[in-house]
Structure 1
Amino acid sequence: MTTRTTRTEKLDLRLTPEAKRTLAAAANAERRSLSDFVLDSALGRAEEALADRRVFQLSPEQWDAFAAALDAPVRNMPRMRKLLNEPGIFSGSEPA
C-alpha cells in the first residue's frame, strides 16, 4: 500500500505495552518493520472507511433509476410520520 516515496511526515502514537507486543509480533510474522506494518494496516483501514464516501459507481441504468427516485414526488407515509413524531426511547418523555 505504501509507495517508495520519501516519507517526510511523522505520527506519534501512544499505546499499551501489550498492544505494541501484538503489533510487533504481527509485523515479525510478515517479516516487516513495525512502522511499515502499522502504516500499511492503518492506510488499508482508512481506505475501507473512506471507500463508500469517495466512489459512487452505478451503471447507466442504475443511475437513471437513482435519479428518477430522487426526482420523484414525496410519498405520503402516515405510519412513518407517526413514528418520527413519537418520542424516542432515550428522550426522557413518555408516549402520549
Structure 2
Amino acid sequence: MTTKTRSEKLDLRLTPAAKQKLYRAAAHRSVSDFVLESALAQADETLADRQHFGLDAEQWTAFMAALDAPPRRHERMERLLNELSIFDESASS
C-alpha cells in the first residue's frame, strides 16, 4: 500500500452479509485498506489486456510488417476529403 495521502472518497452500499465477509477477509488490517487493495488489484488485472498484448514471433513479424507497409489508397476517402464542404466559404457562393 502506498503512503500517499488519500484525499478522494468512494462510497458504496452493500448488504450486511457482504460487509461481514469483507471484515472477515480483512483479518488484521482495516477494511478500507483491504477493499482498496483488492479493488486496485482487480483493476490492474482488468486493464492489463487494454494496455499490453502478447504476440508470438510470427504474429510480431506480421504486426511490424503491417506497421511498416505504405498506406493503402482509398479512392472514395480521397474524393471525400478533396470535395468542398458546406463549411468552406467557397462552397456557399
Q: TM-score range by the shorter chain?
A: 0.5 to 0.7
* Same amino acid, percent of matched pairs: 63
Residues matched between the structures, number: 68
Where does structure 2 lack aligned partners over 5 or more consecutive residues?
70-93
Identify the residue that residue 87 of structure 2 maps to in structure 1.
none
Displacement, 1:55? 1.5
Q: Which residue of 1 aligns with 2:4?
A: 5
Counterparts in 2 of 1:43-58, with a 5 A limit? Answer: 43-58=40-55
**Secondary structure of 1:5 counterpart:** coil
Render the CA deviation track for 1:4-58: whole Å, top value 9, x for unaligned. 1000000001000000000000001xx1110000000000000000000012344
The structural deviation recorded for 1:61 is: 5.6
Instruction: Give the equivalent residue in structure 1 for 2:81.
Output: none
- Identify unmatched segments of 5+ residues in structure 1: 72-96
Report 1 or 2 for greater relative contact order, CA contacts < 8 Å, sequence distance ≥ 6: 1
SS of 2:25 mapped into structure 1: helix
RMSD: 2.4
> TM-score, normalising length from structure 1?
0.60
What is the 5 A alignment of 1:57-72? 57-58=54-55, 62-68=59-65
Q: SS of 1:14's equivalent?
A: coil
Q: Which residue does the alignment assign to 2:31?
A: 34
